[in-house]
Amino acid sequence: MERYMELQGQCAVVTGSAQGIGKAIAFELAVRGADLALCDLREDELRKTAGEIQAAGSVKVFIRRIDLAQENEIEGFVEEAEKSFGRIDILVNNAGMHPLHRIQEISSSEWDLVLQVNLRAHFLFCRQVLPGMRRRKYGRIINIASEAGKNGGTVAAAHYAASKAGVLGFTRNLAQQTGGDGITVNAVCPGRIATAMASAAGEEENRKFIENSILKRIGDPEDVAFAVAYLASPRAGFVTAESMMVNGGTLRD
């Protein structure tokens, strides 16, 4: 039975956790006993999520509204979280944005913003939590990428696909640099998952995804959260530099 509380005494950071996949990840880690440091742009929604988690269990939850495009806000958040919990054992870089624009419609500022939120923020968070993880000789970093990082995606969003391919390269390189200190770094590549992001892609796109899948459905946020919980477990210590597809068998890679 103790196994189910295997994250007790650990602290997990989950970015973009007000809603969707990030919210499901926060719940899944809390169920296993992890205290949480949660951040998102959407403050009211984040507060609601934190309240729901606290009502369901006895873990501590620290929240802050931050913008992942702002380096100083990321730094301040990690500092405060480390001060509150004394440690960060698990980092889940989940927040992301997915503007649907064809190449001629993408301004260079939109390109930069997507890369900042979807890729640079992963780097900034990792750079800041790693010294503590190295000191403690333990860490679990999980980067949420996408099927689009492997196949380019099926909708017009070249900046999104580029950022997610970047997450995969970043993950594999960082895994090599940190493995000697007991730290694993992995990516999860969701297919179409029932969140606001998938709704924005439109019914026709979602129907095509279902047709191409083996399991004939869109995924639930909990499908991704369970994969993250596996990679966050102390028992997943021999898995690193992996990119795990959670996509109902659409892209087989």
Ligand X SMILES: NC(=O)c1ccc[n+]([C@@H]2O[C@H](COP(=O)([O-])OP(=O)(O)OC[C@H]3O[C@@H](n4cnc5c(N)ncnc54)[C@H](O)[C@@H]3O)[C@@H](O)[C@H]2O)c1
- Cα maximum dimension of the chain: 55
* Tokens linked to 111: 């390109």
Annotated active-site residue in 4, 138, 160, 230 = 160
Radius of gyration of the chain (CA): 17
Report the interface residues with ligand X, using CB under 6 A. 16, 18-22, 40-42, 66-69, 94-98, 117, 144, 146, 190, 192-193, 195-198
Structure tokens at 177: 């640099």
Contacts of 48 (CB under 8 A, 6+ apart): 18
Of 87 and 120, CB closest to ligand X: 120
Instruction: Output 53 or 68, the one with its CB closest to ligand X.
Output: 68
160 is catalytic: yes
Hey, which residues does 14 pair with through a beta bridge? 38, 92
Rounded CA gap, 162 and 144, in Å? 14
Nearest-angstrom CA–CA distance, 57 and 90: 19
Strand partners, 12: 36, 90
Distance CA 175, CA 178 (A): 5
Active site residues: 160
